Amino acid sequence: MSKSELPVIDQDAGACCSPMVREPLDESAAVDLARMFKALSDPIRLRLLSLIASHQGGEACVCDLTGPFDVSQPTISHHLKVLREAGLVDSERRGTWVYYWVLPAALATLSSLLQAPADTPAAVGGGR
C-alpha cells in the first residue's frame, strides 16, 4: 500500500522539467500530468494535501484529517486514495494509525511545469 501506483515522470528529480509554456507538451506527458492535476481538482483534496503538508512533522494520520470536513470518513478515505494513486502523497500504517505525507518531488514537478514565461529567465526579452 505504500508504493505509488503511478509511473510518475521524474519522481526523484525534483523541479526538473522545462515549463509547458516553452514547448508543446507531448501527448503521453500530458496524460500523466493531467492525472496529477485531476487529483488536485477537488477542494477537499487540496485542503487534505495542504493539511498533511503543513502538519507537525510533515505527516498526519487519518484521524487528524477527518475532523475539518463535513463529509463522511469513507469519503475522506476515498480522496486520500486518489491523492496516493496520483503519486502526490504516500502512506504507511504504524500500529493503529495510518500516516500520510506529501511527496515533494511530485509537487515540484507540477510547480516548475507551470512556471510562467516571465518567470523563466531564458524567455525574458526573447519571445522566440
The answer to whether 80 and 91 are in contact (CB under 8 A) is yes
For residue 60, give Cα distances in angstroms to 9, 11, 20, 67. Answer: 26, 22, 32, 12
Strands (E), 20-122: 59-61, 89-94, 97-102
Q: Using CB under 7 A as the criterion, which residues of the chain lie in contact with DNA when the complex forms?
A: 1, 38, 41-42, 44-45, 61-63, 66, 70-82, 91, 93, 95-98
Our finding on whether 6 is near a copy of itself (CB under 8 A) is no
Cell 526538473 -> residue: 16
- Which residue number, 26 or 96, has a Cβ lying nearer to a copy of itself? 26
Pick from 7, 57, 95, 126: which binds a copy of itself (CB under 8 A)? 57
Amino acid at 11: Q
**Rounded CA separation 30/36 (Å):** 10
7 binds, among DNA, a copy of itself, none (CB under 5 to 8 A by kind): none
Contact positions vs a copy of itself (CB under 8 A): 14-15, 20-25, 27, 30-31, 33-34, 37-38, 40-47, 49-51, 53-54, 56-58, 68, 102, 104-105, 107-108, 110-119, 127-128
